[in-house]
Amino acid sequence: MPTRSASTRRDFLRWTASLGASAALAPFVAQPLLAQSLRPAELPRPRGLGGREPWGSLEPVGRDVWAMLSTPLADRTTLCNGGLIAGRDGVLMIEAFGGDAGARWMRERARALTRREPTQLLLTHYHADHTGGLTAAREAGAELWSTARTRDDVISRNQNAPVHLLGDALLVPEGGEHVLDLGGRRVRMIALEGHTASDLVAFVEDDGVVFAGDLIWFGMFPNFVDARPSRLTASVRRLRALNARVYVSGHGVTANAAGVDAFTDLLDLVERAARDAHARGVSAEAAGAAFRMPAGMADWTLFNPRYFERAIGAWMREISGS
């Protein structure tokens, strides 16, 4: 943790306590379903649906669709967002989460909510905070979905990757899509790019829910460490064109369509800052230090205070062709 993390973490905790209920964020956060629209099996139990844990909470975002909203600066058990999508014949778990304990907790929640283990597992991209729990996520036999690039990057770029669990991955073609039928429930798995060289999203079309992986962050400023910024922006615009009701971000809270518009504006603002810095010969470090979040996003938080610099630097590399 960087030295500034104490205040950042305190701010984040204050912010997550309201899970997007701050006045500034509220218009952009996808509203939870009304209890009346849920079937009895989905009604909140004494500990809540999935329960509020130190590492986050599992929230209903559709019919038999739950979003795991992690609070990674408080507790790193699950680390990223993800979720569960249930059909008559199977349950798809989105993400393997940051570690085995988080993945096992999600499987336990799947059993409690749907009375079955996840039968399928989707990796949105290779980063370790989304794939670190792969061993536990597959120990009940879930089939694995990813792209070839993501599978290869988990193997070649992550430490201690469970290589033996990746060989039988079912692959969605780069730039293409595959429809998974869970039984009365179709999930479109769409391969995009931009946060990394290969990003896979899940779209529950009948319920208007998108699991965007790290293509969309909401309430937390995105990590551009591997980003191709122009591709990222193009992918976010494609997701927006799906006109979904709920976008489950990779980190932060859920967004509605207006929230995705605001996120796109933020990405465009970063691009303008980078183009301006490039034109004036200013370093990414200086431009990052001068970058200010737009009005209405002042309460967004950062994993790391250098994320503005990293984002502007990624754009400047792309602009200069290096």
Which residues of this chain interact with Zn ion, rule CB under 5 A? 127, 214
CA distance linking residue 88 with residue 94, whole number of Å: 17
Q: Which is nearer to Zn ion, 127 or 228 (CB)?
A: 127
Shortest approach of Zn ion to residue 191 CB, angstroms? 15
DSSP class of 99: S
DSSP state of 315: H
Q: Which amino acid is at 303?
A: F
We find the least distance from the C-beta atom of residue 195 to Zn ion, in angstroms, to be: 6
| Cβ distance to Zn ion smaller for residue 144 or 215 | 215
Nearer to Zn ion, 127 or 231 (CB): 127
Q: Which tokens belong to 79?
A: 């680390």
- Measured from the CB of residue 214, what is the shortest distance to Zn ion in angstroms? 4
Comparison of 113 and 227: residue with beta carbon closer to Zn ion: 227
Least CB distance from residue 114 to Zn ion, whole Å?
27
Q: At its nearest, how many Å lie between Zn ion and the CB of residue 47?
A: 30
| Cβ contact 8:305 at 8 Å | yes
Residue 117 CB coordination number (10 Å) = 16
Please give the helix or strand (H or E) that residue 276 lies within, else none: helix 257-280
**Which structure tokens are listed for 26?**
């509220």
Q: 76 or 127: whose CB is closer to Zn ion? A: 127
Buried b (16+ CB within 10 A) or exposed e, 19-33: bbebeebeebbbeeb
